[in-house]
Structure 1
């Protein structure tokens, strides 16, 4: 039997990149998925590709009403057993190039969105008998990242929020863990120049950029019962970049 048969998982930022890779693997393992994203055309196309096991809704993770709608959609599909806080933005700027508006934009999407999501899914997960939350941080949340102070700040915050939530939610039967990808071949890293790409590759012992499917497999592990005794953990998927 597939590991996720009968389970429903909500994925934010699910229209493309890592979120889409996670959705494809989950459906292949028997799950039903709710894809939340602002990218409506891509999100609907992915849901159509995945068939009746997937549904898409337009979701702004900074809005509580959108979280309520996403949770309601999941429960209508059979409950809520897992959630991936995957939505995020990355607009790299150095300290002296970052204004308050850009810093706050990162905080709202990357940090507040995660907070609202964890809060929103708890009652539904309890009704489903427990669940697993996976927060997508970054290697920028494990060490400094050049020229990306706002992004780095939110990813460090997400790391701490994961541990605090893990303590709060363990008695409720809900596990909370974080995944810390290094450079992954998605639309997010297309902002790099060729020189920046070469510099980042030089910091990776395995000598290559990762693939979205490699992150997705780590996320599936943390969502599944294979990680049943793990909560508050940090899982780096980075080719050794943080060694």
Structure 2
């Protein structure tokens, strides 16, 4: 039986978010085959299905059951969420079986209450249809759910993987056509690798540039 240490889960999840925000890890974006291989463990199947429920994508290969394939285009799984969860530079990987077990336990309870048959050949959460996965996940974020902080931080990691490619160096992620950034239309940098934006949010600069501002943009 897996021991569910919720305090340790939340601590590791929060530390992972903080490290990504600080640009503390750099990994090579996984190929489609590598992403499929990463999903072979029982726990990772559950977690990838959770990520696909939040930011769904199309099937990666024939017979893909983790990714429900309810949309066209990439989702969190294609964007490399597995790289975030399993990075050896982060404290999260040892706790993945416990997090997945917690989610699968919720799936068993959800299915039992609705007389839904779950396949013994795959994790309980993965056995649910996308509609039922969505309904279950919506309940996880209810104010009465004791584990809501765990799901909130885990969902933040899913969003970071897709929306910001936070697990990768941004310039490299753009150059390699990171699925999330490409889908969102994230702009290419200038020739020197820096991003500059000629159009201001309000159509004009809010203040004149101080003459002593340094080349890096720091105040004098």
Q: Which has the higher strand share?
A: 1
* Greater relative contact order (CA < 8 Å, ≥ 6 in sequence): 2
- Please say which structure displays the higher CA radius of gyration: 2
Note whether the superposition's TM-score is higher than 0.5: no
